């Protein structure tokens, strides 16, 4: 089991109103290379949903329940250590 699988939440993306799976949309989520994070807080500043924050002043952590997969954190990270991965 990888990090993305552990952080999976039932976001309902890809479901009809009656709960049927459409199976066509997949939401990308950011994955942070924690060991390379310099805790600069840029990702936290640019996130429109408050879905990523620097924990204990050490590294950034994503809240998948809030994240909408816009990719802003990934684009703005000065260390280029946030990659967007599709949740499967």
Least distance (Å) from ligand SF4 to the CB of residue 18? 27
Cα radius of gyration (the chain):
14
CB of 25 to ligand SF4, least distance (A): 15
> Hunting for tokens 């949309």 — which residue is that?
25
Q: Hey, how many other C-beta atoms are within 10 angstroms of the C-beta on 67?
A: 22
Q: Which two tokens stand for residue 10?
A: 């039932």
Nearer residue to ligand SF4 within complex by CB, 19 or 29: 29
Is residue 40 helix, strand or coil?
coil
Q: Please list every residue from 26 through 45 that binds ligand SF4, using CB under 6 A.
A: 30, 32, 37-43
Minimum CB separation of residue 20 from ligand SF4 in Å reads: 26
Measuring CA to CA, which residue among 11, 47, 22 is closest to residue 60?
Answer: 47
Residues making contact with ligand SF4 (CB under 6 A):
30, 32, 37-43, 47, 49, 51-52, 54, 60, 62, 67-73, 77, 79, 81-82
């Amino acid at each position: 089991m990888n990090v993305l699988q552990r952080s999976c939440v039932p976001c309902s993306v890809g479901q009809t109103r009656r709960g049927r799976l459409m199976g066509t949309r997949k939401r990308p989520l950011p994955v942070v290379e924690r060991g390379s994070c310099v805790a600069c807080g840029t990702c936290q500043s640019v996130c429109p949903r408050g879905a990523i924050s620097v924990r204990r002043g050490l590294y950034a952590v994503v809240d998948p329940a809030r994240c909408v997969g816009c990719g802003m954190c990934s684009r703005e990270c000065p260390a280029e250590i946030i990659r967007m991965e599709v949740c499967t």
